[in-house]
């Protein structure tokens, strides 16, 4: 999938996390700083790939396949943040941008290795939850 397609899935994950029950075109366009027509165009592409569905009343919803992809990107992003902050001691204010530019090249295998190395962190340095991977011990 294209990097910008991945950005959309990531944005959908963030919007849901922030408590939006219905995600509308304008919400996602605003978050990604794009014009609504280009958001519509990209969401159509994602819909064709079976990653999201769009209904006027229900807004944009990720399919199971879309969820899996989004989870992988958010996981890579936040594990990278932990690595940069905790291990490399890069300031919390600067890690977001760096993590954003490398999240797309981190495979799930690499994310698993990062997760094990970092001892399965539950939160990124900004306090956002890191989606659990198969490597992670059960939450008690």
Per-residue x/- track, 74-113, Zn ion (CB under 5 A): -------x--------------------------------
126 binds Zn ion (CB under 5 A): yes
Closer to Zn ion by CB, 81 or 103: give it: 81
Interacting positions 19-78 with Zn ion (CB under 5 A):
none
- Joined together, the tokens standing for residue 50 give 């079976």
- Residue 42: C-alpha distances to residues 46, 47, 61, 100, 123 (Å): 6, 9, 14, 19, 30
Contact of 10 with 62, CB cutoff 8 Å: no
114 binds Zn ion (CB under 5 A): no
7 binds Zn ion (CB under 5 A): no
**φ and ψ at residue 76, rounded to 5 degrees:** -60, -45
Least distance in angstroms from the C-beta of 132 to Zn ion: 7
124 binds Zn ion (CB under 5 A): yes
Helix 36-48 and helix 25-32: axis angle, to 10°?
A: 110
Total interface residues for Zn ion by CB under 5 A: 9
Q: Using CB under 5 A, which of the segments 1-9, 17-25, 26-34, 127-135 binds Zn ion?
A: 127-135
Closer to Zn ion by CB, 3 or 17: give it: 17
The answer to whether the Cα torsion of 54, 76, 34, 38 is positive or negative is negative
The residues near 124 (Cβ < 8 Å, ≥ 6 apart) are 77, 78, 81, 82, 130
- Contact residues toward Zn ion (CB under 5 A) are 81, 115, 120, 124, 126, 128, 133, 135-136
């Amino acid at each position: 999938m294209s990097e910008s397609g991945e950005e959309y899935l990531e944005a959908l994950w963030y919007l849901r996390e922030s408590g939006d029950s219905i995600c509308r075109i304008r919400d996602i366009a605003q978050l990604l700083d794009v014009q609504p027509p280009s958001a519509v165009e990209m969401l159509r592409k994602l819909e064709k790939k079976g990653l999201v569905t769009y209904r006027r009343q229900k807004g944009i919803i990720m399919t199971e396949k879309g969820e899996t992809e989004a989870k992988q990107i958010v996981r890579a992003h936040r594990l990278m943040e932990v690595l940069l902050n905790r291990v490399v001691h890069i300031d919390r204010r600067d890690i977001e941008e760096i993590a954003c530019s490398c999240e797309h090249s981190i495979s799930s295998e690499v994310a698993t290795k990062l997760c094990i190395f970092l001892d399965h962190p539950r939160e990124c340095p900004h306090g956002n939850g890191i989606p659990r991977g198969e490597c992670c011990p059960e939450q008690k």
